[in-house]
């Protein structure tokens, strides 16, 4: 049987929901019930009636789905799909910062482990980070793990003092200011849209900065017919599907997250067939991490 048909059949038998991040391969996005960025996917995971969630993304995303749905079965097709940025900070690192800055609130980007979320005060995504930080009463903010996102949002909240952790996304970090200059020379009429995980100088040189969902919404509404995209290449599939008359170009030839690309159709089929690989978390970590996530979700 054709792989996509087999997945469809198994999905119905298991009463499963397939969630896919926008950085997944096009064929995975096409078989998913829902495709979105971290915040959209967290909401879908929270609200689903399905018995099983197949999470096509990286490890911390499947953890988030499990934290929000402790009684459901959450499957991650490729358990070795991690996130190097999430791995840059540990719960011990956060606790050390808390000791050094006892007055500060800890905000953790959702791209972090459950253990880090469990010792943070509140989570954020790239869509809601400014709103989250503005909601805090504390004047000092420890932001982990992404220094670039932290730097970007700090500009919108000048009244607060930021302590930025030195983590970064190796995929977005590859984009340089020179890439922006080159693309502007080659395509002078195309706006440059970038993700806030990019370096500050790239963000400064861009025409629009936003989460993957915000980039898609902006590009869809824009009057320009061609645009340059500075985020993981998987987003181009969604952009092109929603806007067949427009042309989208990647800001850098290799904005590919190797971890996001580990999931294949065959691993999604095998996950449903064998009910593998099931996400499990220690109760204490899961319950504490849920507090940080739910606090964020109550705001937006
Ligand atoms: S694109 Fe960057 S932040 Fe996202 S999963 Fe890959 S390494 Fe992690």
pLDDT tens for 188-200 read 999 999 999 999 9
User: Residues spanned by CATH 3.40.50.10800 within the chain?
Assistant: 3-83+260-281, 85-168+287-299, 171-250
pLDDT tens digits along 202-226? 999 999 999 999 999 999 999 999 9
In whole angstroms, what is the distance from residue 208 CA to residue 191 CA?
8
86 CA: nearest ligand 1 atom = 8
Distance (angstroms) between ligand 1 centre and the Cα of 85 equals: 6
Question: Which of 83, 109, 234 for mutating ligand 1's site (highest number of atoms within 8 Å of CB)?
Answer: 83
What is the dihedral angle through the alpha carbons of 135, 137, 142, 147, rounded to the nearest 10 degrees?
30
pLDDT for 254: 81
Contact, 66 vs 280, CB < 8 A? yes
Q: Which fold has domain 171-250?
A: Rossmann fold (3.40.50)
pLDDT tens digits along 117-159? 999 999 999 999 999 999 999 999 999 999 999 999 999 999 9
In whole angstroms, what is the distance from residue 5 CA to residue 45 CA?
23
The predicted model scores a pTM of 0.96
Distance (angstroms) between ligand 1 centre and the Cα of 167 equals: 11
111 CA: nearest ligand 1 atom = 3
Position 240 confidence tier, pLDDT thresholds 50, 70, 90: very high
What is 85-168+287-299's CATH number?
A: 3.40.50.10800
Tell me the CATH class for 3-83+260-281.
alpha beta
In whole angstroms, what is the distance from residue 116 CA to residue 94 CA?
7
Contact, 279 vs 63, CB < 8 A? yes
Q: What angle do CA 57, 50, 78 make, to 5 degrees?
A: 25
């Amino acid at each position: 049987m054709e792989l996509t048909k087999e997945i469809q059949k198994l999905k119905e038998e298991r009463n499963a929901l397939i969630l896919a991040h926008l950085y997944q391969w096009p064929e995975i996005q096409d078989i998913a019930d829902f495709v979105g960025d971290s915040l959209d996917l967290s909401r879908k995971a929270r609200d689903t009636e399905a018995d099983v969630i197949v999470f096509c993304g990286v490890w911390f995303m499947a953890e988030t789905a499990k934290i929000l749905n402790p009684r459901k079965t959450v499957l991650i097709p490729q358990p070795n799909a991690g996130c190097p940025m999430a791995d840059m900070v540990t719960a011990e690192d956060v606790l050390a910062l808390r000791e050094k800055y006892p007055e500060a609130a800890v905000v953790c980007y959702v791209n972090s482990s459950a253990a880090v979320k469990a010792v943070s005060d509140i989570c954020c995504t790239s869509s809601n980070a400014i709103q989250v930080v503005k909601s805090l009463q504390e004047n000092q903010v420890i932001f982990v793990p992404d220094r670039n996102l932290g730097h970007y949002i700090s500009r919108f909240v000048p009244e607060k003092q930021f302590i930025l952790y030195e983590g970064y996304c190796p995929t977005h970090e590859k984009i340089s200011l020179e890439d922006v200059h080159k693309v502007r020379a080659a395509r002078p009429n195309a706006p440059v849209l970038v993700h806030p995980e990019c370096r500050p100088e790239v963000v400064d040189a861009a025409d629009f900065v936003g989460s993957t969902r915000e980039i898609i919404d902006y590009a869809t509404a824009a009057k320009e017919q061609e645009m340059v995209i500075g985020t993981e290449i998987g987003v181009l599939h969604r952009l092109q599907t929603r806007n067949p008359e427009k042309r989208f170009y990647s800001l850098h030839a290799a904005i590919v997250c190797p971890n996001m690309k580990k999931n294949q159709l065959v691993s999604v089929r095998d996950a449903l067939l064998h009910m593998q690989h099931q996400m499990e978390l220690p109760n204490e970590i899961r319950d504490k991490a849920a507090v940080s996530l739910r606090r964020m979700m109550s705001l937006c």
